[in-house]
Amino acid sequence: MRVAVFSARAYDRDFLEKANAAADGKHELLFFDIRLGTESARLAAECEAVCAFVNDQLGRDVLELLAGHGVRLVALRCAGFNNVDLQAARDLDITVARVPAYSPDAVAEHTVAMILALARNIHKAYVRVREGNFALEGLLGFNLRGRTVGIVGTGAIGLCVGRIMRGFGCEVIAADPMPNDELVALGGRYVSMPDLLAASDIVSLHCPLTPQTHHLIDRDAIAQMKPRAMLINTSRGGVVDTPALIAGLKSGRIGNLGLDVYEEEADLFFENLSDRMIQDDVFARLLTFPNVLVTGHQGFFTREAMSAIAETTLHNISAFAETGAALHPVSVERLA
Ligand code: NAD
């Protein structure tokens, strides 16, 4: 198949070309570093498939343009699919495929890296030591053993975080409309969302972004959290209301904040903007807090995860080419 790969950085190209070579170079991959949107959709002309990432736009308008160019498959190289209008894809007879669980460990380990960095002020110490400042004032941390970690969403990644935190001697509580027996087997226990917020020293978000989880963490939720609790979001930016986080940081209700995702990240992340001014004042305000650690959506970014993403993406494309169905489809029907 001829596939237009959008938002393609050099590392995407490397991993996808390797996976394609392993599949005997079956597919013709055209790489475009720009994001997919109404302006760029024309680059998919004469392609039967597009390969898209988290910030590519796949609303009805873009899907209609793609369908007009003959695109029949959208192969997402990510797990989340909140950026795709699945009903429009259904109406236009476009198959949507994703990479469901390429490496939950990658995102879970990044989550735990953020927890440890914030608990022990590693992000501050790193800068201080390089400037010859070895004073400890302001670096006082806290032990993880005995702390309560609240996991929101205990699918592949949330479960993995639960397992690691149990290893640190933490109590693990969780909220999920679809409880997972494996979490209970680890010694975790399910509670209501208000109880999770009230009891957790660390709240970690691992649910998908859906209409139900949009701004799940808002002013009300923050008011229910333990004073000075830590909040970590490695799921999707829209699960939290960022101005509410800023208010929570200013009041001290949020003691530490770790974000790998941001609601308006599409205009910032995956680009080197070091010689430009950040135009987003909300994001710029977040960066001023010493107890906030932001990474630019890199939870998935390990060699292992990138190989698995590329392989599964190629398998989705090959399966569709051979049988007319992708290996890991997402659709309105499946979601229901
Ligand atoms: P998953 O589908 O295995 O698990 C998601 C869990 O969330 C499910 O158990 C589901 O029942 C639960 N859930 C749904 N609605 C909920 C709600 N209202 N409250 C609590 N739980 C709810 O997904 P996963 O592979 O564990 O990934 C989780 C999310 O992490 C993805 O949807 C994606 O947005 C994000 N993610 C981020 C990165 C990154 O690089 N930062 C990488 C991969 C995935």
Task: From first to last of the 336 residues of the chain, give the pLDDT tens digit.
Answer: 999 999 999 999 999 999 999 988 789 999 999 999 999 999 999 999 999 999 999 999 999 999 999 999 999 999 889 999 999 999 999 999 999 988 999 999 999 999 999 999 999 999 999 999 999 999 999 999 999 999 999 999 999 999 999 999 999 999 999 999 999 999 999 999 999 999 999 999 999 999 999 999 999 999 999 999 999 999 999 999 999 999 999 999 999 999 999 999 998 999 999 999 999 999 999 999 999 999 999 999 999 999 999 999 999 999 999 999 999 999 888 777
- Name which CATH class applies to 2-102+302-335: alpha beta
What number does the ligand 1 atom closest to the CA of 178 have?
A: 11
Residue nearest to atom 25 of ligand 1 (CA): 156
Ligand 1 in reach of 260 Cβ (< 6 A):
yes
Instruction: Identify whether the C-beta of residue 43 lies closer than 8 Å to the C-beta of residue 68.
Output: no
**CA atoms of 151 and 204, how far apart (whole Å):** 5
- 234 CA from centroid of ligand 1 (Å): 9
Burial class (CB in 10 A: 0-12, 13-18, 19+), 207: buried
- 128 CA from centroid of ligand 1 (Å): 35
Catalytic residue among 77, 147, 297, 315: 297
Helix (H, G, I), strand (E, B) or coil at 134: coil
Ligand 1 in reach of 151 Cβ (< 6 A):
no
Catalytic residue among 147, 163, 236, 328: 236
CATH 3.40.50.720 in the chain is located at 2-102+302-335, 104-294
**CA atoms of 50 and 232, how far apart (whole Å):** 32
Instruction: Identify whether the C-beta of residue 161 lies closer than 8 Å to the C-beta of residue 111.
Output: yes
> Which residue type is seen at 30?
L
Ligand 1 in reach of 156 Cβ (< 6 A):
yes
Residue nearest to atom 4 of ligand 1 (CA): 155
What topology is assigned to 104-294 in CATH? Rossmann fold (3.40.50)
Q: Can you say how many angstroms the Cα of residue 165 is from the centroid of all Cα atoms in its chain?
A: 20
- For the entire predicted model, the pTM comes to 0.94
Instruction: Identify whether the C-beta of residue 206 lies closer than 8 Å to the C-beta of residue 234.
Output: yes
